[in-house]
Structure 1
Amino acid sequence: MDLPGPGRRSAGVPADQATIRRSNLSLVLRHVSESGPCSRSAAAVETGLNKTTITSLVGELQARGLVKEIGPQHAGSVGRPGLALALDGSRVGALGVEVNVDYLAAFATDLAGRVLADRRIGFDAMGNDPGRSLDKLAQVIGKTVADLGRLGVAPAGITVAVPGLIDTATGTVVIAPNLGWHQVPVADRLRSAAPDVPITVDNDANLAALAEYRSGVAMGTPNLVYLTGEVGVGCGIISAGRLLNGADGFAGEAGHIMVDPAGERCGCGRIGCWETKVGLAALVRMATPDHAYGLGQVVRDPEERLAEMEQRRAEGDPRVDAGITEVGRWLGRGAAMLINLFNPRVVVLGGYFAQLADRIIPVAQTELDRLGMTAATSRCGFAASDLGFGAASRGGVHVVIERVLSDPTTIPIRTS
């Protein structure tokens, strides 16, 4: 069996046939996914596999419902036009879900990226214990999986996004300050919602950064920083095209960098964290103090809070613009530190930052120009995400799809 040139093993390193075949299946599936429809001959040339091997691999990928033949394709050559290979995966689903302070979200696609489900519901995760929150999230998962089932789609995996430090190996939330969670075994608690479906858990900002890199405004930018604009502020870092995780997977907790020793107390228990200056809770406290978080009112979706601010601004309330300006200043100050540290080409603003980008970015840019290292900041700018508050769940979908592309044998051969 052929092993393609780029993935060829070093001499003397054993590889069993099953491992080689998985590698070759992945190579062909990834090629079709990234290059678009192509003939078997073209796939053989591009992957370095011979035609006999390609025929065998394509047969298996078809049996698993991952590729299909389309055509005939006319490439300008003389002779009978041939059929082309294209990504299928119409029966293979990927599900990303998120639990955040004031909402739950679910986003699902098939392997080819066709959107099958997209929902977000208001939920007071801050005011409920972890068990109640996960029970509600399990209901969302169960409903979404049922919806996929009615479409004839089986989920290949579920990724759960949580705003906190995550032990990804065990699917445990080590600490999520704004949720009040400590050592919560999220993956284990959710398994009953979708038996036999692999469940992974990751940080929401990391997943959102991945979504931006794969399909957002900064798609393909190998060095970027993503900032969440939620009640808390998370940071995901793409460096040289790879997510920066750190030794324990905890990299990117920029929201808990101390910026004001005389500031407000943060959900993590410390004083003056960056998110106490730029998180949505900070803006709400400044712009609509009568509806600040923690006052025991009916839970509101972030977009409802922003709509209320816009209404008050239209009525002439000066606190809204003053609050946005203050957030912009502190956003620029923090971004200057991140740019000095990581030298990205773009800082992508997500969540509510993106909703208010036309007013926040000019203020943040002025502060960034004042504080940043000129050589680094002159080559980096802000960009507003267009993925909305669903960026993390979209990133979760990409994690599941990548797992299938890396090992197509995780998808069973269809018997009918």
Structure 2
Amino acid sequence: MTVEHQPGSRSAGVPADQATVRRANLSLVLRHVSARGQCSRSSVAAETGLNKTTISSLVGELQARGLVKEIGPHHAGSVGRPSLALVLDGSGVGALGVELNADYIAAFATDLAGRVLADRRIGFDAMGSEPERSLDKLGQVIGSTVAELDRRGVALAGLTVAVPGLVDTAGGTVVFAPNLGWRGVPMIERLRSAGVPAGVPMAVDNDANLAALAEYRSGVAVGVPNLIYLTGEVGVGCGIITGGRPLSGADGFAGEAGHVMVDPYGDECGCGRIGCWETKVGLAALVRMATPDRAYGVGPQVVRDPEERLAEIEQRRADGDPRAEAAVAEVGRWLGRGASTLVNLFNPQVIVLGGYFARLAEQLIPVARAELARLGMSVAADRCRFAASTLGFGAASRGGVDVVIERVLSDPTSIAMRP
């Protein structure tokens, strides 16, 4: 998913074929240490099949790049002198994921070992803003986060941007984002002009795809090889993991379940079509049904974070407002109907509910479960469960971090040697 590649990562004077082999071996050792936690050089040699001399050379280079370090002693249960243990370092290597959505911008950054360095979300009306203004604001958020990493002595290894729409990942262009009103926006080009540091590898991807990756790597469905992630935002995003790999389709546009027509006589969607699934279950639909006086596009528009809108709906439900109660139940029914189609098509083990769906999961899941049981193929439906995400509205930005870390694990030479 990387859009820009950094030249000159190969060690000087090393022939191309040797450099390729060494890069692969560096990746093998780094992944091994990342997966195992503390381990000795001898255990790395035994389990990777590389000889001890090669391991010593590779470890030395990974240390020079600040990616692993030794702590000690390491007790492996054998007699004799204990060895030092290798562990993942990466404290000076940062990964940043940011998300631009209809009414907020989120930023999340960690070091290579997953230690959180920044985690923030601000309200922003991207629906009511031109692309230039939205990208300027996004550039400011990125700039302030990068400056924070700089103050910590952390060098940024890469940046991934999540947006709610169809993305040409190879070119870094947002092809179509209905709820933002974007068509053909060259996002990476615009962000560079907005002040994103030159030389930092950048990628752009769909928000639900990245959120699904985050759930698979570290969320409620960690390690589940077949899952579907549904994000409840103003619209509805869908990310699919099948066989442990993201399903992207021929052009990277797979998973647009929110724009599958479910009601030919329904409301007009932001994409211009009638009766899309997100017109039934998106946050905009819930707000319109539960609090019509506060609906998107009605009256003076004040930038409101999704959490604020949900808090108001929950308060009205607590106060016994039948309209709010009915709205949540209606969303649950349509959520289950749409989920039944996804289960019939993809046979997932888990459907992870993110965004506002997670906040209202206790009310939504029983209703959705009943609809899924009624409409889904019985065996597939019985074996699929709903799970509420714990990653909140920042799931996509966390997935963006995972993309950067995966890039480093695949090519440790992308990180410069320390002086």
Q: In the TM superposition, what are the counterparts of 1:185-264 in structure 2 within 5 Å? A: 185-191=186-192, 192-264=195-267
User: In the aligned structure 1, how far is the partner of 2:374 from the partner of 2:410?
Assistant: 45
1:90-112 CA-to-partner distances (Å, cap 9, x unmatched) read 00000000000000000000000
Match of 2:137 in 1: 136
User: In the aligned structure 1, how far is the partner of 2:76 from the partner of 2:264?
Assistant: 67
Q: In angstroms, what is the RMSD of aligned CA positions?
A: 0.9
Percent pairwise identity: 79
2:406 to 382, 390, 402: 402
Q: Is the partner of 2:352 in helix, strand or coil?
A: strand
In the TM superposition, residue 315 of structure 1 has moved relative to its aligned partner by 2.2
2:294 to 286, 291, 295: 291
Match of 2:24 in 1: 23
Q: Is the partner of 1:305 in helix, strand or coil?
A: helix
In the TM superposition, residue 78 of structure 1 has moved relative to its aligned partner by 1.5
User: In the aligned structure 2, how far is the partner of 1:374 from the partner of 1:210?
Assistant: 28
Q: TM-score w.r.t. structure 2 length?
A: 0.95
Q: Is the partner of 2:232 in helix, strand or coil?
A: coil
Residue pair 1:228, 1:351 contacting (<8 A) in 2 also: yes
User: In the aligned structure 2, how far is the partner of 1:360 from the partner of 1:249?
Assistant: 30
In the TM superposition, residue 44 of structure 1 has moved relative to its aligned partner by 0.5
Residue pair 1:217, 1:385 contacting (<8 A) in 2 also: yes
User: In the aligned structure 2, how far is the partner of 1:389 from the partner of 1:93?
Assistant: 21
For 2:237, the aligned partner's letter is G
In the TM superposition, residue 15 of structure 1 has moved relative to its aligned partner by 7.2
More displaced stretch, 96-105 vs 188-197:
188-197
1:384 to 380, 383, 388: 388
Match of 2:12 in 1: none
User: In the aligned structure 2, how far is the partner of 1:380 from the partner of 1:310?
Assistant: 28
Q: Is the partner of 2:383 in helix, strand or coil?
A: coil
Q: Is the partner of 1:350 in helix, strand or coil?
A: strand
Match of 1:10 in 2: none
1:350-372 CA-to-partner distances (Å, cap 9, x unmatched) read 00000000000000001000000
Match of 2:341 in 1: 337
User: In the aligned structure 2, how far is the partner of 1:75 from the partner of 1:213?
Assistant: 31
For 1:269, the aligned partner's letter is G
Residue pair 1:141, 1:194 contacting (<8 A) in 2 also: no
For 2:173, the aligned partner's letter is T
Match of 2:167 in 1: 166
4+ long deviations beyond 3 Å: none
Residue pair 1:166, 1:201 contacting (<8 A) in 2 also: yes
2:353 to 330, 349, 355: 349
Q: Is the partner of 2:214 in helix, strand or coil?
A: helix
2:279 to 269, 276, 285: 276
User: In the aligned structure 1, how far is the partner of 2:198 from the partner of 2:99?
Assistant: 19
User: In the aligned structure 1, how far is the partner of 2:347 from the partner of 2:319?
Assistant: 41
For 2:244, the aligned partner's letter is G
Matched, 1:367 2:371: yes
Match of 2:108 in 1: 107
For 2:169, the aligned partner's letter is T
Q: TM-score w.r.t. structure 1 length?
A: 0.96
Q: Is the partner of 2:203 in helix, strand or coil?
A: strand
User: In the aligned structure 2, how far is the partner of 1:193 from the partner of 1:19?
Assistant: 30
Q: In the TM superposition, what are the counterparts of 1:7-156 in structure 2 within 5 Å? A: 16-156=17-157
Residue pair 1:205, 1:227 contacting (<8 A) in 2 also: yes
For 1:132, the aligned partner's letter is R
Match of 1:4 in 2: none
Q: Is the partner of 1:93 in helix, strand or coil?
A: strand
In the TM superposition, residue 205 of structure 1 has moved relative to its aligned partner by 0.2
- The number of residue pairs the alignment matches comes to 402
